[in-house]
């Protein structure tokens, strides 16, 4: 009889309802060398002599979109990043700059204020020290701001965290950057594909 009671207790404690919930981090995806140069400007007159297009990217597809009318989430042009919403596109994407470390964000907080683009203000602010980058007036180089990364909600309603690693082709060390190789984005991102705010399975 004692043996039977022990066996019964073991079966109850290992029932499906009591199984531990095991979560694992989602995959970090690295995207390299998205070429998105700014317009070419005559430095003497300040006039645009060559207008370059935005490059549109879909997090779900991990691919560039064919056009502004396609299924995309964010767009790149020079140091400017837009989201597919409001004044920038027909979608419902939104985003924001967050302080902290990309690797340490386990969940998008309820208090996070993700915004859409408007005529007056982009969700990801432009200008040195305002959004994702700093501009060095002496070297004329662009570098990601330490302790800053980006969070987005895609058109499909899924959350993404993103860290820009480099603005230069092939992601060189900053002390080895060739100024003429600018306008090439390399970044890491994590997509939560099921609509949850937590970045785990």
Q: What is the pLDDT of residue 23?
A: 64
- Enumerate the domain spans of the chain: 23-192
Q: Residue 106: what are its φ and ψ, rounded to 5°? A: -90, -20
Query: Which H or E run contains 152?
Result: strand 148-153
3-state secondary structure the chain: CHHHHHHHHHHHHCCHHHCCCCCCECCCEEEEEEECCCCEECCCCCCEEECCCCEEEECCCCEECCCCCCCCCEEEECCEEEECCCCCCCCCCEEEEEECCHHHCCECCCCCCCECCCCCCCCCCCCCCCCCEEECCCCCCEEECCCEEEEEECCCCCEEEEEEEEEECCCCCHHHCCHHHEEEEEEEEEEECCCCCECEC
pTM of the model: 0.86
pLDDT tens digits for range 3-24: 433 333 333 344 455 666 566 7
Kindly report, residue by residue over 149-181, the tens digit of the pLDDT: 999 999 999 999 999 999 999 999 999 999 899
CA angle at 139 for the pair 37 and 187, rounded to the nearest 5°: 45
Euclidean distance between CA atoms 182 and 141, whole angstroms: 8
E strands, 2-120, are 29-35, 40-41, 48-50, 55-58, 63-64, 74-77, 80-83, 94-99
pLDDT tens column, 30-68: 999 999 999 888 778 878 888 999 999 999 999 999 888
Backbone angles phi, psi at 110, to 5 degrees: -60, -25
pLDDT at 79: 97
What was the pLDDT predicted at 68?
A: 82
């Amino acid at each position: 009889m004692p043996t039977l009671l022990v066996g019964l207790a073991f079966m109850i404690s290992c029932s499906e309802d009591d199984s531990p919930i095991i979560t694992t981090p989602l995959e970090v995806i690295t995207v390299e060398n998205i070429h998105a140069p700014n317009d070419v400007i005559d430095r003497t007159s300040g006039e645009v002599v060559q207008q370059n297009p935005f490059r549109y990217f879909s997090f779900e597809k991990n691919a560039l979109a064919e056009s502004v009318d396609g299924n995309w989430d964010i767009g790149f042009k020079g140091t400017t990043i837009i989201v597919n919403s409001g004044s920038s596109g027909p979608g419902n994407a939104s985003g924001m700059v967050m302080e902290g470390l990309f690797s340490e964000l386990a969940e998008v907080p309820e208090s996070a204020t993700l915004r859409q683009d408007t005529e007056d203000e982009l969700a990801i602010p432009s200008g040195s020290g305002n959004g994702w980058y700093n501009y060095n007036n002496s070297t004329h180089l662009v570098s990601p701001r330490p302790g800053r990364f980006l969070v987005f909600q895609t058109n499909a309603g899924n959350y993404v965290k993103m860290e820009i690693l480099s603005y230069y082709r092939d992601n060189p060390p900053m002390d080895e950057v060739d100024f003429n190789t600018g306008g090439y984005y390399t970044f890491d991102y994590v997509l939560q594909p099921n609509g949850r705010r937590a970045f785990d399975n």
